[in-house]
């Protein structure tokens, strides 16, 4: 089906003049020797006057001396971190058909494609660019790519597949990522394809080898392509083989003080994907990271968090382990490429605004799940920001998880039964799981440190497991 779907693109009628022009000037792309993914299709647009790009947030303006600009919207099925990949190259050509300038996309932005000496890189008169291993951003030489080597190695290695199904603003409301299983399927597929780039760009790919169609036709084709891939993954990766998110409970709290920066760092070192941290609000509406309402257990201070300002908290805990702000936590998680699973204990409206401001400023909302035992909190969060992922926590065995989640439009259900049964995985019956899956809900599980129980949960195909010892989740996957 996937092959036939791609072949169908090449049967689309085209304007012959524009097609010939786009193919004549199609760039050559140099890939890493170990690159597993190559372009499948190209949507081209020919500009003979200044106009907005139909596929990228920018205006196309003809350069002095150029008669035509050609936009190549290049489709890969896969980036090493996600399903859906669209990169862009813009070629400017004069009346004699000579290349005069070029630009290309680079992690959501775009740059002129001239090397360190100010020259356009060419091969046989056509633009020749380097593509970042796994990620496919374009550069005029390997020098740009080597500057990002550490990030790229992480993306192609431990972070392979971590972004799941990627939906850009171009396809908001058209491609839907409303089922947590989509992300797990993509993560499972791509994690098996992680690789270590060689930085030897010996694979030379002529873009003419891809299917060439006008952009509008590619745009209309892409949603069905994404859907077809999700169907293929669902059919070929059984539930017990799907990648489970590893969530470090209060950080790696078995090895460092819970909800501390040290616990967050330890979580990253032990292979966690996300950290679960508890959120409370100070008297002056600052969101902070702490579990208890009182400072007594963790800080030896006989006072409640909600009665103190942030300055007072800092002063009272200065001699011991300081309470950390949410801003500090998200900065450290961003630095370590860890997702956030927030357990909201107490949140005022003003503190919620601060939470979202911090996440928006760092573009980290897409790596965050809001969880709570308080359905009212999650309902308000979802109403204010429908793009937020939420998870409802509950301890009652006999509660209806689908009705509970449905009432507040939650994305995940999180049964917290660890203290209520010797083998809590047995409470997740086939009928229970089926109802949850039919409602397109994800399943997050309690913090668990028993290897046999972790293995049993993974065999059920849950989406995420919390643990004080996140390395146990890593071992269970092997």
Where along the chain do its domains lie? 2-238, 244-476
pLDDT at 476: 61
Q: pLDDT tens digit string along 302-358?
A: 999 999 999 999 999 887 788 999 999 999 999 999 999 999 999 999 999 999 999
Residue 69, token pair as written in the block: 């600009």
Mean pLDDT throughout 246-254? Answer: 98
pLDDT at 256: 97
Find, among 380, 340, 372, the residue nearest to 359 by Cα.
340
Q: What is the largest CA-CA distance in the chain?
A: 81
Q: Torsion over CA of 55, 56, 58 and 64, rounded to 10 degrees?
A: -70
Mean pLDDT throughout 7-31? Answer: 89
Mean pLDDT throughout 52-73? Answer: 96
pLDDT at 15: 77
Q: Is residue 71 within 8 Å of residue 44, measured between CB atoms?
A: yes
DSSP 80: T
Cβ partners under 8 Å of residue 250, min gap 6: 258, 259, 263, 275, 276, 277, 278, 291, 468
Residue 96, token pair as written in the block: 């004699």
Percentage of residues in the chain with pLDDT exceeding 90? 91
Phi-psi region of 256 (alpha: psi -120 to 50; beta: other; left: phi over 0): beta
Asked which of 223-232, 295-304, 315-324 is least confident by mean pLDDT, the reply is: 315-324
Mean pLDDT throughout 453-466? Answer: 96
d(CA 147, CA 293): 45
Under the banding of pLDDT at 50, 70 and 90, the label for residue 196 is very high
Under the banding of pLDDT at 50, 70 and 90, the label for residue 13 is confident
Angle at CA of residue 191, ends 39 and 427, nearest 5°? 135
pLDDT at 460: 95
Residue 409, token pair as written in the block: 């439009």
pLDDT at 310: 96
Find, among 208, 196, 238, 188, the residue nearest to 20 by Cα.
208
Phi-psi region of 259 (alpha: psi -120 to 50; beta: other; left: phi over 0): left
**CB-CB neighbours of 212 under 10 Å:** 22
* Bridge partners, 88 (sequence order): 73
Q: Is residue 153 within 8 Å of residue 337, measured between CB atoms?
A: no
d(CA 214, CA 15): 9
| Range 244-476 classified under CATH 3.40.50.10320 | no
DSSP 424: G
**Residue 223: pLDDT over 90:** yes
**Residue 199: pLDDT over 90:** yes
**Residue 75: pLDDT over 70:** yes
Under the banding of pLDDT at 50, 70 and 90, the label for residue 12 is confident
Q: pLDDT tens digit string along 398-411?
A: 999 999 999 999 99
pLDDT at 477: 62
pLDDT at 478: 53
Q: Is residue 84 within 8 Å of residue 175, measured between CB atoms?
A: yes
pLDDT at 143: 95
Find, among 117, 144, 115, 116, the residue nearest to 128 by Cα.
115
Rg of the chain in Å (alpha carbons): 25
**Residue 212: pLDDT over 70:** yes
Burial code (b: 16+ CB inside 10 Å, e: under 16) for 360-378 equals: eeeebbebbbbbbebbebb
d(CA 452, CA 454): 5
**Residue 475: pLDDT over 70:** no
d(CA 379, CA 149): 41
pLDDT at 62: 96
* Bridge partners, 165 (sequence order): 83
Residue 377, token pair as written in the block: 């909190």
d(CA 359, CA 329): 11
Give me the residue label for tokens 């171009």.
170
* Bridge partners, 391 (sequence order): 371, 412
Q: What are the backbone dihedrals phi and psi of residue 393, each rounded to the nearest 5 degrees, phi first?
A: -95, 145
d(CA 369, CA 389): 5
d(CA 368, CA 432): 26
In angstroms, the Cα distances linking 367 to 176, 184, 273 are 17, 14, 10
Q: pLDDT tens digit string along 83-115?
A: 999 999 999 999 999 999 999 999 999 999 999
Asked which of 15-29, 59-73, 310-324, 371-385 is least confident by mean pLDDT, the reply is: 310-324
d(CA 440, CA 422): 28
Q: Is residue 432 within 8 Å of residue 439, measured between CB atoms?
A: no
Q: Is residue 33 within 8 Å of residue 202, measured between CB atoms?
A: yes
Q: Is residue 418 within 8 Å of residue 385, measured between CB atoms?
A: no
Q: Is residue 19 within 8 Å of residue 212, measured between CB atoms?
A: yes
């Amino acid at each position: 089906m996937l092959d036939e779907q791609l072949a169908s693109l090449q049967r689309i009628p085209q304007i012959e003049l524009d097609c010939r022009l786009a193919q004549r000037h199609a760039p050559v792309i140099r890939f890493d020797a170990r690159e597993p993914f190559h372009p499948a299709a190209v949507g081209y647009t020919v500009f003979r006057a200044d106009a907005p790009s139909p596929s990228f947030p920018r205006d196309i303006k003809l350069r002095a001396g150029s008669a035509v600009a050609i936009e190549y919207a290049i489709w890969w099925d896969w980036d090493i971190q996600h399903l859906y990949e669209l990169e862009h190259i813009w070629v400017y050509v004069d009346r004699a058909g000579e290349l005069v300038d070029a630009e290309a996309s680079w992690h959501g932005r775009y740059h002129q494609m001239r090397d360190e000496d100010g020259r356009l890189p060419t091969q046989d008169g056509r633009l020749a660019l380097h593509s970042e291993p796994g990620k496919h951003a374009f550069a005029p030489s390997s020098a740009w790519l080597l500057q990002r080597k550490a990030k790229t190695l992480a993306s192609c290695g431990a972070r392979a597949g971590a972004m799941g199904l990627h939906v850009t603003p171009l396809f908001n409301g058209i491609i839907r990522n409303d089922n947590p299983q989509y992300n797990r399927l993509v993560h499972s597929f791509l994690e098996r394809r992680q690789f270590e780039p060689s930085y030897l760009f010996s694979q030379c790919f002529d873009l003419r080898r891809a299917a060439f169609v006008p952009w509008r036709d590619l745009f209309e084709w892409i949603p069905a392509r994404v859907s077809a891939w999700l169907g293929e993954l669902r059919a070929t990766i059984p539930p017990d083989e799907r990648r489970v998110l590893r969530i470090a409970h209060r950080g790696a709290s078995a090895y460092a003080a819970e909800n501390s920066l040290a616990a967050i760092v330890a979580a990253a070192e032990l292979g966690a994907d996300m950290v679960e941290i508890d959120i409370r609000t100070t008297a002056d509406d600052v969101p902070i990271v702490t579990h208890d309402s009182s400072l007594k257990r963790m800080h030896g201070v006989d006072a409640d968090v909600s009665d103190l300002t942030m300055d007072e908290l800092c002063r009272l805990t200065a001699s011991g382990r300081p309470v950390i702000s949410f801003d500090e936590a998200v900065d450290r998680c961003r630095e370590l490429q860890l997702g956030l699973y927030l357990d909201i204990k107490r949140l005022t409206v003003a503190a919620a605004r601060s939470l979202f401001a911090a996440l928006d400023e760092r573009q980290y909302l897409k790596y965050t799940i809001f969880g709570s035992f308080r359905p009212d909190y999650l309902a308000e969060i979802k109403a204010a920001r429908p793009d937020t992922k939420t998870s409802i926590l509950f301890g009652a065995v006999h509660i209806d998880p689908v009705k509970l989640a449905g009432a507040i439009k939650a994305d995940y259900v999180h049964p917290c039964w660890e203290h209520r049964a010797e083998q809590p995985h047995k409470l997740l019956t086939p009928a229970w799981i089926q109802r949850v899956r039919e409602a397109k809900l994800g399943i997050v599980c309690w913090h668990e440190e028993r290897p046999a129980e972790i293995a049993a949960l993974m065999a059920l195909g849950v989406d995420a497991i919390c643990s004080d010892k996140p390395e146990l989740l890593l071992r269970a996957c092997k």
